[in-house]
Amino acid sequence: MRLKDIGEFGLIKRFQRMIKTDPSVIKGSGDDCAVLKWDDYNYQLFTCDMIVEGVDFRKTDNLKFVGRKAIGVSISDIAACAGIPTHAVVSLGLPKSMRIDQADLLAEGLFGLAKEFKINIVGGDISVSDKLIIDVSMLGRVEKNKLCLRCGAKAGDLIMVTGDFGGSIKGKHLKFIPRVKEARFLVDNFKINSMIDVSDGLVQDLGHILKQSHRGAVLYESLIPQSRQAKGIEDAFCSGEEFELLFTASRDQANKIIKNAKYSYKVIGEIMPESFGLRIIDYKNKYVKLKTRGYRHF
């Protein structure tokens, strides 16, 4: 049996069975961030992300934006838990043939976005590699009463998103803005029941919330915000790497968000009982079952 036979999530489950944690871990593997004990009022958030040439970016992409993406995906994970990013370490696998000016561009993107979000880069590692590889580990913090995870969705919640979906490969996956401000505005002013950032596809990432919350959902095709670059609804559902927020809140809270929000949040569906499964109401007003499809590494 090979990795392709069990898939990315099958491998993750295999590893998770081997992991044991002590009481310092509030939430371990399975969410956007690990949640660790810190003090009486806050949790510490801990996440890591690796991007690889040929998988997450092209060799011909501007290295400033590649560096920006490398740190941005971890910031987005912190945002998905409604936290504030604080510290990071960066490990680089660099080809010997890389020019110094290319390395400078990479660093400009990395350190520039870190500075914008007031993140301290406190170390890392460098090694030689056939392809460019960037791995970022990041710490953040979140107040205990504001933490958002994937497991809190309730039947009757409305499903909401920031931004548009589809066509991210045409540029957004390198130039997205992590939604820290939008997440903090939500938890500072409203009760959010669950949240995730959309990295592997709108439907697949919604599926993570549904699985951990033991819920179903219905989406409305007419309400899915498609970007100008999207090839259609399938692309909007599955392309991923928009790094927008997908979250759920009660109908009352969702109405308040729509009326009072300083940022753009859009309703795209509703959380249902688990037995309902995942369905979409299409433009013909018909229910269609959906599979939680999206990007998988193998």
Mean pLDDT of 47-55: 97
Q: Amino acid identity of 229? A: Q
Does position 296 have pLDDT exceeding 80, yes or no?
Answer: no
| Distance from C-alpha of 78 to C-alpha of 288, rounded to nearest angstrom | 33
Residue 131 CB coordination number (10 Å): 12
> What pTM was computed for the model?
0.94
| Architecture of the CATH domain 3-145 | 2-Layer Sandwich (3.30)
Mean pLDDT of 143-147: 98
| Distance from C-alpha of 23 to C-alpha of 11, rounded to nearest angstrom | 25
Domain with CATH 3.30.1330.10 in the chain: 3-145
Which CATH class name applies to 149-289? alpha beta
Mean pLDDT of 219-237: 95
Q: DSSP code of 29?
A: B
3-state secondary structure of 156: coil
Does position 295 have pLDDT exceeding 70, yes or no?
Answer: no
Span 103-144, pLDDT tens digits: 999 999 999 999 999 999 999 999 999 999 999 999 999 999
Q: Evaluate whether 79 touches 178 at the Cβ level (below 8 Å).
A: yes
The pLDDT assigned to 80 comes to 98
